[in-house]
Amino acid sequence: MADAATAHPVGMALRRSIGTATATATSAGLAFAAIDYLGVVSVLAYAPAATAIPAIFIGGVIVLLVSGIFSELNGLYPSAAGIRLYLGRTVGDRTALAVTFTYMTTVVLVIAADAFLIGAAVRHVLREPAVLAYVWIAVLLGLATGANLRGVRLAGWVQTVVTYTVLGGTAVLSVVAIFHVGGAFRHPFDLFGKGGFSSIQAVAFALFLYAAFEWVTTTAEEARTPPVITRALFIAPVLIWLASSLFALGLAHLVPFSHLHGSAYPQLLLGQAALGTVGELWMLALTVLTALNTFNGGFLVASRFIYAAAREGNLPRPFARLNLQAVPWLAVTSLALVSAAVAAVVFATGQWLLLVAVGATIEAGIYALGSLCVVVLRRRETRERPFRLIAGKPLAVFGIVLFSVLFIATGFSDPKNAHHLSVAPISVIVVLASLSTAYVLIVVPRLRAAAAARAATARPRRRPPRPATEAEGPPPPSIRPPSDVPR
């Protein structure tokens, strides 16, 4: 906050400091949060035990299609506001704004759910009261905020170290669990063992394991070269697939599902079953690290979108101001405060499973819209693309159908009971979309009008010569030296 007082004007540019390793860590770190451990359990609810592995694999293959779609779109619009730009060209400016503001809530929901799960894990191991657990969350939010405010280099370094530590640590302990003597895989590979609709829901929740990985595209203006974002979009899902698959196998081998269902810390149960207290502390440390992983990455990407939206006049102008480290400081601090508030609500209500379903539904909807953008922009945008998805149109049409089905499947799923349907997830999304639409229709026109007025005031005007009055007489002749006189 010290830099806030000396913030630079809106015109100052972001700095191109992000390489492939950092971009990949940002992409994978946003997706592989503490909530991913719960996401694996959600997959297990619809695809029992080892059957979850094909579901996670199918989800990973589908996500590679998403990687291609967003790589092409990001190549067309390599901007922090890219998603609003290509959606605007496809479905119109107002609809695009309403969708992107709804979509942005995914990051806050993931951060809030992650905060609750980390607090629950700390309480379980250290036997601390809920208030003290929330203090831990506030401290971690503060650390992530401080790292972001010090510049993209420091935030990127933190993201790189923490993400690879979490992914590697989870994979190693999962391998230990898989080879633990005394466990047994309790189900064969039978993805359709609980019915076709359950298999669709299993794949939908498997997609949630990768949710928000595509948000790395908002850092396009800070990537060293354009291919950096494309490489990150294809590498990150592979890392997430490896870690999630090994974790699912470890759970299937050692922990009965009856112990996992309803638990907010399955990773601690796996650590305890594999290595006793050492394993439990191991997974607790990784869980705490996911906080920095998710909070830091979430602030990094979402603040850039907020910055771009304010730069275009769609959010209040102060959100577009950068501090001395070229960071949109107000966007970062506002995200931290909102995330802390939503996390407090989750702590009070315990509705973290609902956030999983809402996040999965929003992601499926965005992937469907992204596929639609590829189809439409292949016709409207004829300029050369830095990345072009092979068989783009047929694959995009397939994506529209597939992700629309997954949107419906997750939107009406009951996160607490795999055998029931619920309107709760889709209802939350309708409320969020309604609020976003109201903001776009009521507030955005006023912001744009104010921006236009400021621009008109700042524009220099050439005043016409004032006609002379009789008292003043004619204007004096201009004094020009003769052409033969040296100046």
CA distance 269 to 279: 9
The pLDDT confidence band at residue 1, using thresholds 50, 70 and 90, is very low
pLDDT, tens only, 456-466: 887 655 555 55
pLDDT, tens only, 261-318: 778 889 999 999 999 999 999 999 999 888 877 887 888 888 888 988 898 889 999 9
pLDDT above 70: percentage of residues in the chain: 86
- Number of structural domains, the chain? 1
CA distance 53 to 32: 17
More confident residue, 212 or 388: 388
Res 3: pLDDT: 40
Amino acid, res. 108: V
> Taking every pair of C-alpha atoms in the chain, what is the biggest distance, in angstroms?
110
Res 375: pLDDT: 95
Has residue 239 got a pLDDT over 50?
yes
Has residue 45 got a pLDDT over 50?
yes
Res 334: pLDDT: 92
**Tokens representing 431?**
């409320």
CA distance 67 to 389: 9
Tell me whether residue 475 is in a domain: no
| Highest mean pLDDT: which range of 161-170, 247-256, 257-266, 295-304 | 161-170
Tell me whether residue 58 is in a domain: yes
**Lowest-pLDDT range of 37-46, 51-60, 61-70, 472-481:** 472-481
Average pLDDT, the chain: 82
Supply φ then ψ for residue 421, to 5 degrees: -105, 155
**Lowest-pLDDT range of 7-21, 242-256, 367-381, 437-451:** 7-21
More confident residue, 28 or 360: 28
Q: Within 10 A of 473 (CB to CB), how many other CB atoms are there?
A: 8
Tell me whether residue 244 is in a domain: yes
Res 252: pLDDT: 86
Q: Please write down the long-range contacts of 268-276, taking CB distance under 8 Å and 24 or more positions apart.
A: 268/121, 268/124, 268/125, 270/173, 270/174, 270/177, 271/173, 273/177, 273/180, 273/183, 274/173, 274/176, 274/177, 274/180, 274/250, 275/173, 275/176
Domain boundaries, position 252: 14-457
Tell me whether residue 476 is in a domain: no
Has residue 243 got a pLDDT over 90?
yes
Q: What is the CATH number of the domain that holds 330?
A: 1.20.1740.10
pLDDT, tens only, 59-113: 999 999 999 999 999 999 888 778 888 999 999 999 999 999 998 887 787 788 7
Residue 426, classed as helix, strand or coil, is: helix
Supply φ then ψ for residue 322, to 5 degrees: -110, 145
**Conformational region of residue 195, where left means phi above 0, alpha means psi within -120 to 50, and beta covers everything else:** left
The pLDDT confidence band at residue 119, using thresholds 50, 70 and 90, is confident
**Lowest-pLDDT range of 201-205, 280-284, 332-336, 458-462:** 458-462
Has residue 481 got a pLDDT over 60?
no
Res 470: pLDDT: 46
The pLDDT confidence band at residue 38, using thresholds 50, 70 and 90, is confident
More confident residue, 223 or 349: 223
Has residue 58 got a pLDDT over 70?
yes
The pLDDT confidence band at residue 123, using thresholds 50, 70 and 90, is confident
Q: Among all chains, which residue has been given the structure tokens 């949630």?
A: 208
Q: Would you say the C-alpha torsion 232, 23, 115, 122 has a positive or negative sign?
A: positive
The pLDDT confidence band at residue 183, using thresholds 50, 70 and 90, is low
**Contacts of 179 by beta carbon, 8 Å cutoff, 6+ apart:** none
The pLDDT confidence band at residue 189, using thresholds 50, 70 and 90, is low
CA distance 228 to 16: 11
CA 46 to chain centre: 25
**Lowest-pLDDT range of 32-36, 372-376, 480-484:** 480-484
Tell me whether residue 128 is in a domain: yes
Helix H or strand E segment including 15: none
Tell me whether residue 398 is in a domain: yes
Q: What is the DSSP letter of 441?
A: H
**Contacts of 94 by beta carbon, 8 Å cutoff, 6+ apart:** 440, 441
* CA distances, 212 to each of 21, 45, 312 (Å): 17, 22, 23
pLDDT above 90: percentage of residues in the chain: 33
Has residue 385 got a pLDDT over 60?
yes
Asked if residue 144 lies in contact with residue 221, where contact means CB atoms within 8 angstroms, the answer is no
More confident residue, 45 or 310: 310
Nearest CA to 28 out of 145, 121, 162, 154 is that of 162
Q: Within 10 A of 300 (CB to CB), how many other CB atoms are there?
A: 30
Q: Among all chains, which residue has been given the structure tokens 């299993």?
A: 202
**Lowest-pLDDT range of 122-126, 280-284, 393-397:** 122-126
Res 50: pLDDT: 76
